[in-house]
Amino acid sequence: MIPKLLSLVLAIAVAVLSVLLWMAKSTTPRVDETFIRTQIERVAKAVTAEENLDFVYTYEATWVGSTKKAMIQATARVFAGFDVQKHLKIALDARRRRVAIEFGEPEIIGVDFLKQHYYNETPGFWNAFSEKDRDAIAEGMRQKALEAARSGKLRTVAKDSMRDFLQLLMRGYGYETIVSFAEAAAPKG
């Protein structure tokens, strides 16, 4: 009686294990270039780098000898990421379980101002601040934040984040991943 019961339990265990292995195999996605591109496009906007920048911006405008000035202390959060529609190349070697992915250079994709403190605003004698001046100050501050972000480490952080993320993602599928970044073409002329 015990050998029959043991055989029955063993047969059920083998059947359950077979079904589980079949389900695991059938739910594992087929890794091809389309699958990789889809995964990258799904997360490219989420994989960004950000940096907070503190700076002082000075605005000055003169009209008929009357000068208005403003000094603004600001904190901006700048975001960098990748536009995969512009540049994304994928080379898959399924036999060696290796994938090479190339992106363009990371781009500055946004600037949010967290704090702006006007600590010295002096209108000119007949040259008061206008809406046009406020717009010029806002654009000048945005340009200063972009300039600081371009010269800082933000793009390197974006590259490292994307590389780390993709290597981790593809390692889960058993692939070695090589991530590279194409240098931006030098302007002609």
What torsion do the CA atoms of 101, 102, 107, 112 make, to the nearest 10 degrees? 0
| Assigned domain for 189 exists | no
Query: Number of folded domains in the chain?
Result: 2
Residues 45, 122 share a domain? yes
For the chain, give the mean pLDDT: 80
Same-domain check for residues 7 and 80? no
- Does 22 share its domain with 81? no
Q: Which of 31-35, 43-47, 171-175, 181-185 has the lowest mean pLDDT?
A: 43-47
Residue 105 and residue 155 share a domain: yes
Domain holding 128, by residue range, is 31-181
Both 11 and 100 in one domain: the answer is: no
Q: Which residues pair with 116 in a beta bridge?
A: 74
pLDDT tens-digit profile of 80-137?
888 888 888 989 888 898 999 999 898 888 899 999 898 888 777 777 888 898 899 8
What is this structure's pTM? 0.68
Q: How confident is the model at residue 30 (pLDDT cuts 50, 70, 90)?
A: confident
How do residues 147-158 score in pLDDT, each as one tens digit?
988 888 888 888
- 187 in a domain, yes or no? no
The answer as to whether 145 is a domain residue is: yes
117 and 139 housed in the same domain: yes
Same structural domain for residues 67 and 135? yes
φ, ψ dihedrals at 48, nearest 5°: -130, 165
Amino acid of residue 34: T
Query: Looking at the structure, do residues 21 and 47 belong to the same domain, yes or no?
Result: no
Q: Which of 126, 136, 134, 129 is nearest to 65 (CA)?
A: 126
Q: Which residue has the higher pLDDT, 166 or 17?
A: 166
Task: Check whether residue 77 and residue 126 sit in a common domain.
Answer: yes
